[in-house]
Every structure is written in structure tokens, then in C-alpha cells.
């Protein structure tokens, strides 16, 4: 076109513009304007209008990835996750490396319980945009639930390097370390979180839990009680306090019972008016007893060694078994037990009321708590009475304090008739034994008595350090002084713990070279460690449970001291049940004297060791089915009694 031809058109355009005419904006410009308007409404909290603007933006330019993401976000905020997910996926079709789209798809996957997919999206988001701060914490939490603790720790370490002032990242790091039983490192992470945020109550409470595992009971109680000042109605933390009080032996049975009743008064009493006692299953029961177990420990946990053989032995012609699992992580033991249960319910994400309703819907006749006041319990589900008969067993050797917990299963050895009833809100249901034990399939053969070859007598204590009280240290020190060329092997004690152990035993004149410290290790290595031990010393007043059974299975007898509560009678009852009265003591003086005597009786100890596994095998073979039948009989009897009282003929 010639220049002369353009001039009239320019004059026309200038004339139009001068009179207020403007050219129509392009669709892209209109889309951007709609997005800007939506953002303004979103910032003002007007989600509905923002959503309408974003819908308009997508209509104007369907290929605009940011418009799709904004639309998806508004849909999420409006409670419409499915169309939100569609919008985010549309964004990824146009821009495959859109970090925000991946991030929000990860959140949606979490909402629908698909953590594996959520992890993929969150990983993609961080790979695309490492500066996306929120993704670090959310990805770490997802990985933690998936049992991928090592990867979670890497993500958190990267996040902390980028954002060292984020207290929540240090807190999550502590949680991951605690799950990996790296309690000292976890305490350091929680401490860092508290330095950044002194009122971080969750970090205080979790720090207290780890301190208990390290044997720092006084420090643990202080941290837990401080956390409760910030959140006085946190039931889990009150339970942590009750559990910690069991270790120190600082309260007598009556005072400890009163503390449990205070828990019930605070958390159960407000629910009593709404808890149900008109369960239709009482008068309309099926051919089989519907039996429900509630626990967060149906995994690689000490409880599994006692519960799994019962789960496997249940007679499915008599009982229909439901398991309500309250922990978010699933491992190989969980998968194995899930196959053994007829019905499995993952309840970690359910509220107490929702879980109670789930149990009611299942029509459970007898509901069994396997946790007491230990971690991940759901006692406030029991407080709502979702089942007509409610029982506590196995995980906690004391009362729950709840009025709605009808029975506690025990035996006459740990709860002698007439002695402990007054310290329970439950009625004690005594069976011939409190539980049965299933040894670890990775157990190596029993080794020869090590002192014969080494010339050094090795006492051992592989119990949780929280159970090693000052009284135990004093008794162990007296034994070491009286037995020349002897040493004490302590488990769960790494190099970083050495100064504290040296100090505690040093106060009793025990030099460092008489102590052998072994860090927490894998199960095969832990079991193999027994080849170095001649005699195990049980802790008091909180006896070993699973630790004692592992020791006996590995041929190492356990010297135990009897106390006045259930948790301090477990060891003596176990030894007497195996016909090993020589290893059951009534006083601390007897405990010290008996240890010295046994250390000087290597022939007796050698013979005991050689036949100990066979002795235990005979008991387990006889007890496994018999105990489960006795347990089922007890549950059926309780149900029959309940239905009779309800008027069923």
C-alpha cells in the first residue's frame, strides 16, 4: 500500500479516538482483566464473585494455564474438589511444568486419601519451583504417612536450609526423627522449633515424649505439663502425662488412680449424657459375636508380638473380627494383620465421633481397647460408648479411668484378687494369663553362655531407658561392685548418651569401663546382642514386657523384682509362669543378692540357658490356642450376661 493511501485511514482513526472510540481488547486482554478482577474479589474474601470472574476468564481463553489454576483454586475454596482437579489438569495440558497446578493437585489427592498420588504431585511442584515454601511441609507430612521417613527427612532438611526460620519445618523434622526412634536428634529438632517459636505447644509435648524415651522422666513431665498450660483440653497430652507418670514411680497406686479419674472427669463426663446404652445388637445379635479391636499399634510395634497370635487363632465360627487401626503409617506387619482380620477399618483420619459412628454401624458386640493411655489411643471413642460391652487389654497395665470402660483383662499374677480392684474404674476380668507371645521370625539360635569363653560376666538391660530409674542404677551398681570382672551392657544407648550414663553410674562408683553401651539397632542385630549377655536385669518399678520375652526366647533368663502394681509384677509373673522361681525377687536386697549368687553359678546358668527356648516353646504351643479360646469364652460370657440383663430370652 502506498503512503498516500494510508493517510486517510490514519486521519479516520485519529478522528474516532478523539471522540472516545477505542478498539476492542483482544481475548487475551479480556482474560487478564477478568483474572485481575477475580483476584481483587478473592483478596476481599468474596469467593463466589471471584469464582464467576475466573470462569469468565477461562471462557475467554481456555488455553490460559494461570486462569485454569485460579479457577481450580476458587473451586477448591468453594468445596468443589472434583471440578477443581479438572481445572488443574487442564492447566497441565497447556503448561506441563506448572508448579501451582501440581501443588494443588497434591492437596486434592490428600483430601481423597490418595497419598501416593499426592506425593508425586508435590515432588513435581518442588522440582519445578524449589522456592514454593508451602510444599516442603506438606510433602514431608505425606511422605511420613507413607512410611517414607528417609525421603521426608531429606525434604525437610532442604526446606530448613532454604527457610531456617520456619519453626514448623523443625517440628516436622522432630516428628520424623521420633518415628525413626532417633529420640535425641528429635529433641534437638523440637528445641530448635521452640527457640524460633517459644509458645509452640505441640513441639513441647512431643519433646516431652522423646525425653521420656531417653529416660529423662522429670524433663518429660515438665515439658508435657508446660504444653498443657497452652492447651489444657488436649486429651492426648493428658494421656502422655499419665503414661509418663507410670515410669517414674513417683506416685503411689491411689494417687495415680486419682489422676486417671481426673482425665475421665475432664474428657468423658461431658460425653456421658450423649453416650448410648441402647445398642440394638444386644437384642438382635448375629450368629457370631462381633468383636472389634482398636489400636494404633497394629504395625512393627511391641504389641504386635502379643496380639497377632490371638488374631490368627480366633475361631471364625464363633467370632467375627473387626480391626480399627488408628495410626496413619502402614508397614509389613500392618499388611499381614490386615489379611488376617475379616474387616479392617483405617481410622487415623476419622474424628472420635465419626469413628464411634463407624463402630455403631458395624454393630460391634464387644469393643476392645489395646492402647490405654499410650500413643494414638482413641479412648474418647470409648467414652461415647459405641458398643454395649467395652474392654481394655494388653497395651496399658493400669486403669483407663473411664466409667464407660467396663472391664480390664488381666491375670491373678499381676493383679492379685483383693489388692488392685480399688485402683480401677473397670471391673477386673482375670484370665489364666494376661497374654501370649509370638517370637520374632528373624530370631537366631541360642548362643552358648558367653562368660565361659570370655571370662567376663555380662549383665544386660535392653529395656527402654525411660524405665531405668535411680533405684535400678543403685541396685545394678551394687551388683557390679560385688561381682569382680563383670560389666553391664545397656541397650538403646548410643555414643551421644554415654556422658549421662557415665554420670549416673559414676555417682555409685562404677567406672566407665564397666559399662557397654549399644545404640538402638535393627531387630536381627538386637536379637543377636543377647549372645553377649549372661543374665538380664529387669527394670523396676516398670518391668520389661516384650523385652523380657525376647530375652527369654534368646536363652537369657531375666532377674525381676516384684512391686505393688501391675506394671511392676509382669516380670516376676512371667518367670514364675515358666517355673523359674529362682529369678523372681520380692525385695531389692534379694534382687542384688540373687544376681550375685547366679553370677557365681555358671553351671546352673548354662543349663538354664540351654533349655530356656524349649521351655518357652512348650508353653507357647500349649497356650496359643487355649488362651484365645479362653478369651473368646470370656467375651461370649460377657455378651450373654449383657443380653440376659437386657431381657433377651
Q: Are strands 535-537 and 515-517 parallel, antiparallel or unpaired?
A: unpaired
Query: Quick check: is 441 in a domain?
Result: no
Higher pLDDT, 496 or 511: 511
First to last CA, the chain: 106
- Map grid coordinates 495410626 to a residue: 327
pLDDT per residue over 510-556, tens digit each?
Answer: 999 999 999 889 999 999 999 999 999 999 999 999 999 999 999 99
pLDDT per residue over 106-131, tens digit each?
Answer: 999 999 989 999 999 999 999 999 99
| pLDDT score for 281 | 45
Query: Quick check: is 58 in a domain?
Result: no
| pLDDT score for 22 | 54
What residues does 287 pair with on adjacent strands? none
C-alpha dihedral, 355 to 357 to 363 to 366, nearest 10°: 50
Question: What does the mean pLDDT of the chain come to?
Answer: 92
- Map grid coordinates 471462557 to a residue: 59
pLDDT per residue over 335-394, tens digit each?
Answer: 999 999 999 999 999 999 999 999 999 999 999 999 999 999 999 999 999 999 999 999
Coil, strand or helix at 427? strand
**Contact call for residues 183 and 220 (beta carbons, < 8 A):** no
What is the phi/psi pair of residue 510, to 5°? -90, 120
| pLDDT score for 433 | 85
Query: Quick check: is 71 in a domain?
Result: no
The answer on 406 and 302 residing in a single domain is yes
Distance CA 345, CA 330 (A): 12
Distance CA 86, CA 93 (A): 11
Instruction: Judge whether residue 206 has pLDDT over 50.
Output: yes
Instruction: Judge whether residue 504 has pLDDT over 70.
Output: yes
Best CA proximity match to 557, nearest among 593, 592, 512, 598: 598
Copy the grid coordinates of residue 106: 497434591
User: Exposed (0-12), middle (13-18) or buried (19+): which is 250, by Cβ within 10 Å?
Assistant: middle
Strands (E), 296-436: 319-325, 343-346, 366-369, 389-392, 407-411, 427-431
Instruction: Judge whether residue 649 has pLDDT over 50.
Output: no
| pLDDT score for 5 | 57
**Does the N-terminal peptide bond of residue 453 adopt cis geometry, omega within 30 degrees of 0?**
no
pLDDT per residue over 599-646, tens digit each?
Answer: 999 999 999 999 999 999 887 767 878 999 999 999 999 999 888 776
Copy the grid coordinates of residue 116: 501416593
The answer on 456 and 352 residing in a single domain is no
Q: Which of 330-334, 401-405, 542-546 has the highest mean pLDDT?
A: 401-405
User: Exposed (0-12), middle (13-18) or buried (19+): which is 392, by Cβ within 10 Å?
Assistant: buried
**Structurally, how many domains does the chain consist of?**
2
| pLDDT score for 494 | 78
Alpha-carbon torsion 530, 535, 539, 543, what sign? positive
The answer on 407 and 538 residing in a single domain is no
Residues 6+ apart with CB under 8 A from 246: 256, 397, 398, 542, 567
What secondary structure does DSSP assign to 157-217, as a single string? HHHHHH-TT-HHHHHHHHHHHHHTT-HHHHHHHHHHHHHH-TT-HHHHHHHHHHHHHTT-H
The answer on 455 and 412 residing in a single domain is no
The answer on 358 and 414 residing in a single domain is yes
Distance CA 562, CA 567 (A): 9
The answer on 329 and 404 residing in a single domain is yes
Query: Quick check: is 17 in a domain?
Result: no
Distance CA 86, CA 70 (A): 12
Instruction: Judge whether residue 19 has pLDDT over 90.
Output: no
Residues 6+ apart with CB under 8 A from 410: 428, 429, 430, 431, 434, 566
User: pLDDT class for 105, splitting at 50, 70, 90?
Assistant: very high
- The total of other beta-carbon atoms located within 10 Å of residue 128's CB is 18
- Map grid coordinates 467375627 to a residue: 320
List the CATH number of the domain containing 327: 3.40.50.11380
**Contact call for residues 413 and 576 (beta carbons, < 8 A):** yes
pLDDT per residue over 581-603, tens digit each?
Answer: 999 999 999 999 999 999 999 99
Best CA proximity match to 559, nearest among 599, 515, 616: 599
- Full domain range(s) for residue 496: 450-621
In 214-252, alpha helices (H) = 217-230, 235-248
The answer on 479 and 341 residing in a single domain is no
| pLDDT score for 107 | 96
| pLDDT score for 646 | 66
Query: Quick check: is 167 in a domain?
Result: no
The answer on 420 and 469 residing in a single domain is no
Best CA proximity match to 201, nearest among 227, 176, 220: 227
Instruction: Judge whether residue 4 has pLDDT over 70.
Output: no
The answer on 402 and 327 residing in a single domain is yes
Best CA proximity match to 226, nearest among 244, 243, 207, 248: 207
**Contact call for residues 381 and 354 (beta carbons, < 8 A):** no
pLDDT > 90: percent of the chain: 80
pLDDT per residue over 259-279, tens digit each?
Answer: 999 999 999 999 987 766 655
pLDDT per residue over 272-302, tens digit each?
Answer: 877 666 555 444 456 899 999 999 999 999 9
Q: Which of 366, 400, 431 is the last residue of a domain?
A: 431
User: pLDDT class for 428, splitting at 50, 70, 90?
Assistant: very high
List the CATH number of the domain containing 592: 3.40.50.2000
The answer on 491 and 420 residing in a single domain is no
The answer on 389 and 470 residing in a single domain is no
The answer on 472 and 560 residing in a single domain is yes
**Does the N-terminal peptide bond of residue 608 adopt cis geometry, omega within 30 degrees of 0?**
no
User: Mean pLDDT throughout 206-216?
Assistant: 92
pLDDT > 70: percent of the chain: 93
Distance CA 486, CA 586 (A): 24
Query: Quick check: is 471 in a domain?
Result: yes
Instruction: Judge whether residue 574 has pLDDT over 90.
Output: yes
Distance CA 370, CA 381 (A): 13
Distance CA 198, CA 101 (A): 35
pTM score = 0.84
634-639-640 Cα angle (round to 5): 95
Distance CA 254, CA 319 (A): 37
Amino acid at each position: 500500500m502506498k503512503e498516500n493511501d494510508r493517510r486517510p485511514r490514519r486521519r479516520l482513526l485519529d478522528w474516532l479516538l478523539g471522540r472516545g472510540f477505542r478498539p476492542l481488547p483482544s481475548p487475551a486482554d479480556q482474560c487478564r482483566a477478568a483474572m485481575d478482577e477475580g483476584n481483587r474479589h478473592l483478596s476481599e474474601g468474596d469467593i463466589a464473585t471471584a469464582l464467576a470472574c475466573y470462569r469468565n476468564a477461562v471462557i475467554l481463553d481456555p488455553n490460559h494455564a494461570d486462569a485454569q489454576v485460579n479457577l481450580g483454586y476458587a473451586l477448591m475454596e468453594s468445596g468443589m474438589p472434583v471440578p477443581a482437579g479438572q481445572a488443574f489438569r487442564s492447566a497441565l495440558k497447556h503448561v506441563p511444568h506448572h508448579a501451582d497446578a501440581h501443588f494443588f493437585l497434591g492437596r486434592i489427592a490428600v483430601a481423597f486419601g490418595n497419598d501416593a498420588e499426592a506425593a508425586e504431585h508435590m515432588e513435581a511442584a518442588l522440582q519445578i519451583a524449589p522456592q514454593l515454601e508451602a510444599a516442603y511441609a506438606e510433602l514431608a507430612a505425606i511422605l511420613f504417612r507413607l512410611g517414607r521417613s528417609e525421603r521426608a527427612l531429606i525434604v525437610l532438611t532442604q526446606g530448613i536450609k532454604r527457610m531456617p526460620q520456619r519453626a514448623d519445618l523443625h517440628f516436622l523434622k522432630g516428628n520424623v526423627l521420633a518415628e525413626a526412634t532417633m529420640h535425641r536428634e528429635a529433641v534437638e529438632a523440637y528445641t530448635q522449633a521452640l527457640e524460633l517459636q517459644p509458645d509452640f505447644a505441640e513441639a513441647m509435648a512431643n519433646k516431652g515424649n522423646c525425653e521420656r524415651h531417653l529416660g529423662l522422666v522429670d524433663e518429660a513431665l515438665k515439658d508435657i505439663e508446660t504444653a498443657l498450660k497452652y492447651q489444657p483440653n488436649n486429651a492426648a497430652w493428658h494421656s502422655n502425662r499419665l503414661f509418663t507418670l507410670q515410669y517414674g514411680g513417683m506416685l503411689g497406686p491411689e494417687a495415680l488412680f486419682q489422676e486417671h479419674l481426673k482425665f475421665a472427669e475432664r474428657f468423658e463426663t461431658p460425653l456421658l449424657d450423649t453416650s448410648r446404652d441402647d445398642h440394638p445388637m444386644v437384642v438382635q445379635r448375629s450368629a457370631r459375636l462381633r468383636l472389634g479391636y482398636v489400636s494404633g499399634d497394629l504395625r512393627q510395634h511391641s504389641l504386635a508380638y502379643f496380639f497377632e497370635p490371638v488374631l490368627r487363632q480366633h475361631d471364625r465360627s464363633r467370632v467375627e473380627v473387626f480391626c480399627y487401626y488408628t495410626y496413619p503409617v502402614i508397614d509389613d506387619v500392618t499388611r499381614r494383620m490386615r489379611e488376617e482380620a475379616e474387616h479392617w477399618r483405617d481410622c487415623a483420619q476419622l474424628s472420635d465421633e465419626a469413628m464411634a459412628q463407624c463402630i455403631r454401624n458395624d454393630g460391634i458386640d464387644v469393643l476392645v481397647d489395646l492402647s490405654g493411655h499410650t500413643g494414638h489411643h482413641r479412648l474418647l471413642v470409648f467414652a461415647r460408648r459405641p458398643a454395649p460391652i467395652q474392654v481394655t487389654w494388653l497395651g496399658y497395665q493400669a486403669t483407663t479411668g473411664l466409667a464407660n470402660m467396663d472391664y480390664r483383662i488381666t491375670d491373678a499374677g499381676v493383679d492379685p484378687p483383693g489388692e488392685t480392684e480399688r485402683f480401677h474404674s473397670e471391673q477386673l476380668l482375670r484370665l489364666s494369663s494376661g497374654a501370649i507371645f509370638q517370637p520374632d521370625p528373624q530370631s537366631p539360635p541360642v548362643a552358648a553362655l558367653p562368660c565361659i569363653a570370655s571370662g567376663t560376666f555380662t549383665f544386660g538391660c535392653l529395656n527402654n531407658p525411660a524405665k531405668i530409674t535411680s533405684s535400678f542404677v543403685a541396685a545394678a551398681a551394687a551388683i557390679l561392685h560385688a561381682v569382680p570382672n563383670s560389666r553391664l551392657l545397656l541397650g538403646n544407648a548410643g555414643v551421644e548418651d554415654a556422658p549421662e550414663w557415665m554420670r549416673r553410674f559414676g555417682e555409685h562408683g562404677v567406672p566407665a569401663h564397666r559399662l557397654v553401651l549399644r545404640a538402638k539397632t535393627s531387630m536381627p542385630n538386637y536379637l543377636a546382642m543377647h549372645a553377649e549377655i549372661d543374665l538380664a536385669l529387669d527394670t523396676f518399678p516398670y518391668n520389661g514386657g516384650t523385652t523380657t520375652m525376647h530375652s527369654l526366647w534368646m536363652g537369657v533368663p531375666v532377674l525381676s523384682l516384684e512391686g505393688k502394681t501391675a506394671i511392676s509384677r509382669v516380670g516376676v509373673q512371667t518367670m514364675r509362669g515358666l517355673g523359674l522361681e529362682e529369678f523372681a525377687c520380692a525385695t531389692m536386697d534379694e534382687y542384688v543378692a540373687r544376681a550375685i549368687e547366679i553370677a557365681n553359678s555358671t553351671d546352673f546358668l548354662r543349663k538354664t540357658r540351654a533349655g530356656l527356648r524349649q521351655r518357652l516353646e512348650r508353653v507357647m504351643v500349649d497356650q496359643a490356642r487355649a488362651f484365645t479360646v479362653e478369651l473368646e469364652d470370656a467375651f461370649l460370657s460377657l455378651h450373654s450376661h449383657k443380653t440376659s440383663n437386657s431381657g433377651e430370652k
